[in-house]
Structure 1
Amino acid sequence: EPEAVIQPQKDKKRFLASYKPSVLVNELRIIIGQAVDPSSKTQVVTSLLDQAQQQGVIETALFDAGYFNQQVIDATEERGIELLCPEGRSQGKDWHKQSGKYYPKSHFQYDPEQDHYRCPQGEILTCQSRYKGNAASPAYRLYASEACGRCSHKDQCTRSAKGRRIKRYASDGAKDALRQKMQQPAAREHYVKRQGMVEPVFSHLRYQQGLNRFRRKGLAGVRVEFSLHALA
C-alpha cells in the first residue's frame, strides 16, 4: 500500500498504514463535501469548500483546532466565508492552545503599534533580528528579552540559556485576529454547534455503515469507496 502513510489510529496506541477521510456537513447533517488524503486533513479544505459552494452560499465554516493554520484561513478568506476555528480545546474560558511543558506562543501578546510582544509575566520582547526567508522557510522577525535571565518562571517558558525567542511570521496577524474573534461570546455560541453537526455523521459512517477500515487498495480506490459511503 505505497500511497498510504503510517500514522496513529483512534486509540493512539496503534500505528498502521492509513488514509485520512474528511467531510463537510451542513446544519442538517447532510454531507456537502468529502475527500480523502493520504495524511493531511487540511490539504483537502479547498476542495471541501468548493464542493460545498456548488450547493449554495456558505456564510460560515466551523473547523476544529486541528485546522488552525494559514492555509485554512486563506482558503476561507478567498471564498468570502467567515471562519470560526479555535486554537485550542473549546472548553472552559480559555480556548487558546495549551501546553504542559512551556507557555505556548499564543500566551505572548503582540502590540502592532509598538512592534513588541508582552510575555505572560509582563516583560517586553523586542525585535532582535530578521530572517528574509527562502523557498523552504518563510521570513520572520525574532523577538527576545534580557529579562529572561532573571525571571522566576523561566523553567515554564524555555530551557534555552539565551531565554525565550518568539518568531513572528507574516501569517501571524491573521491568526491573532482569529484568536480575538474566538473570544467573542457570539462566535463561541455559534461554534459550539459544530460538534452536534458533524460528529453524528462520523458515528453513522463508522457504526451504522461499518466504515472502520478501507477495503480497497490505493488512493484512487479508497476515494471511490469513501464516496460511496458518503453518498449512502
Structure 2
Amino acid sequence: MPDPLCDKAHPTKGAGHYRPRDFDYDAAAGTCICPAGKLLYQNGANCKHNGHLAVKFQGALRDCGPCTLREKCLRKPDTTPARQVSFFRGRAPGGQVSCADLMRRAIDSARGRALYGGRFATVEPVFGNLRYNKGLDRFTLRGQKKVDTQWKLYCLVHNIEKLAHHGVAQ
C-alpha cells in the first residue's frame, strides 16, 4: 500500500450532477429528454449567451417535482422547482460589441457630438471645483459608506456655495 500522506494522485470524482451531455437532445426535432425519460419544454431557440447562440429547455413542474433523480439533477433540489438545460450552437453572428465601440458610435453621431460638447457647461466644472478649489483630489476615509458620505458632504458644500453666489436671494 502506498503511504496516504505521500500519495499525490487526485481522487477520482464521482458522477456528480447530470450535465447537458446526459440529456437526449435532438436538434432536428427540437426536443430534449431528461435522464428520467421526461420531455422538456423548449423555452428559447435563439438565445444569446456570452456571444454564443443557445437552445434552452426547462422541465415541467409536474415531472420534476416528484422525480426520483432530483438530487442528481439539481444543485439545490430543495429550492429549485425544475431543471433547465442549454445546448450551444456556436457563435452568434456579429459577435459581441464592446462598450468602447458603443460609446464611439454614440459620440460620433450628430446628437452625440452636441451632447458631448455640452459637458463643459454641465458636469466638468463641478468636478473641477471639487478637486482643485475644495481640495478633494482623494478621499481621506475608507469604506464605501464613509466615502459616499464624504462625497455627499463636498457636493452639499458646492451646492450651498452656488445658492449663496447665484441662487435664491439674488
Q: Please confirm whether the aligned pair reaches a TM-score higher than 0.5, indicating the same fold.
A: no
- In terms of fraction of residues, the more helix-rich structure is 2
Max radius of gyration: which structure? 2
